[in-house]
């Protein structure tokens, strides 16, 4: 029965706030009080909120966009996204590999975390 299923709390971090768990005070706070230390892997993602990130997905897909939100499963909301899809085809006569890259612009995109292979934050100068 549906009413007997347990409810699960789910935290979704957005730029400037943490959504989904009103009692939690840790995580991404307001922009002025964000702790800039990296103690665990998702801290690196937290520090990249509101910045452009590079995301590599399964299936030779790559995304570049502004990170608006994420959660512990690496589900992400990206804005101003450039998607690149690379395909390799073989010429039937010469058997040469032909590499094709298709690009498109997407205003807003929800990325499901199970397809994420790599997330690269923007380069930071010291």
Query: What number of other Cβ atoms are within 10 A of residue 86's Cβ?
Result: 13
Segment 97-124 mean pLDDT: 93
Mean pLDDT of 95-102: 93
Q: What is the pLDDT of residues 15-67, one digit of tens each?
A: 665 555 433 333 444 444 556 788 888 888 999 999 999 999 999 999 999 99
* pLDDT(76) > 50: yes
11/1: higher pLDDT: 11
Q: What confidence score (pLDDT) does residue 21 get? A: 46
The answer for 93, left when phi > 0, alpha when psi is -120 to 50, beta otherwise, is alpha
Average pLDDT of the chain is: 81
Residues, the chain? 126
Residues whose CB falls within 8 Å of the CB of residue 33, separated by 6 or more in sequence, listed in order: none
């Amino acid at each position: 029965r549906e009413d007997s299923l347990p409810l699960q709390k789910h935290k979704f971090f957005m730029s400037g706030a943490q959504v989904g768990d009103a009692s939690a005070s840790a995580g991404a706070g307001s922009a002025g009080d964000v702790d800039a230390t990296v103690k665990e892997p998702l801290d690196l993602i937290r520090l990249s909120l509101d910045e452009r990130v590079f995301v590599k997905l399964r299936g030779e897909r790559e995304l570049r966009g502004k990170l608006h939100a994420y959660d512990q499963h690496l589900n992400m909301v990206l804005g101003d996204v450039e998607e690149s899809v690379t395909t390799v085809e073989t010429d039937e006569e010469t058997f040469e590999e032909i590499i094709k890259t298709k690009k498109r612009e997407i205003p807003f995109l929800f990325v499901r975390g199970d397809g994420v292979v790599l997330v690269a934050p923007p380069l930071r100068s010291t």
